[in-house]
Structure 1
């Protein structure tokens, strides 16, 4: 199963009763393992979880800490980009040249690097004197 197919499949499990906007994400790591996540809404909107954050949490819970590639998919008119917070979360675990494939359920795809999605990201290097 491709990374995009894994994201599409997990998208169906999203808990989105308020927006009806289901998102799926899949991450691959250097070991070749794939971790998936879907958005989980809460009636108190800020308390929900993005699909990318769920996939990252699953990866970390399994003891891995490096994203090689990530795919994100939703039913929208154009390929779905990660939100700003998720871009920062992705950059915590991925090199700037790691690929982010953004897609729609009907097959539109756009691929950018993490560095292109979040230029000038805040990193651990900024905290070296802290």
Structure 2
């Protein structure tokens, strides 16, 4: 698997977004330890609390298949700007990013993206280690 495949999968997932209230499409693709790419899009609800972000949709799909270790993630929102994960998504990413340096590709398009790590996006994060 290469980063281009992950990026392309996120871009494709964005087009499946259900966002009749915000009209803001987001797509995500995650790579977990099984080597498969899982995709997700944002799914809105008239009761806004029932809305789910693209990143969490993709992660929950992977976890529901038995995965626990996130390797990489790519996400795209506005193709004219870099769309970063929201706070709750950063917390969920941290939960499954057991190894340091998990790459986060923040995309405008297939050729225009930046790469961050989970640690850069969520320094000093609260993790399961804090519960021990």
* TM bucket normalised to smaller: over 0.9
TM-score by length of 2: 0.91
CA contact (8 A) 1:24 1:39 kept: yes
Residue 10 of structure 1: how far off its partner (Å):
1.1
**Once superposed, what is the RMSD of the aligned Cα atoms?**
1.4
Q: What is the match of residue 107 of structure 2?
A: 103
Residue 105 of structure 1: how far off its partner (Å):
4.0
Q: How many residues align?
A: 128
Gaps of 5+ in 1: none
Which deviates the most, 73-82 or 60-69? Answer: 73-82
Q: Output aligned runs, 1:67-106, within 5 Å.
A: 67-94=70-97, 95-105=99-109
TM-score by length of 1: 0.92
Residue 58 of structure 1: how far off its partner (Å):
0.3
- After TM superposition, what 4+ stretches of structure 1 lie above 6 angstroms from structure 2? none
CA contact (8 A) 1:53 1:89 kept: yes
Q: Output aligned runs, 1:1-130, within 5 Å.
A: 2-94=5-97, 95-105=99-109, 107-128=111-132
Gaps of 5+ in 2: none
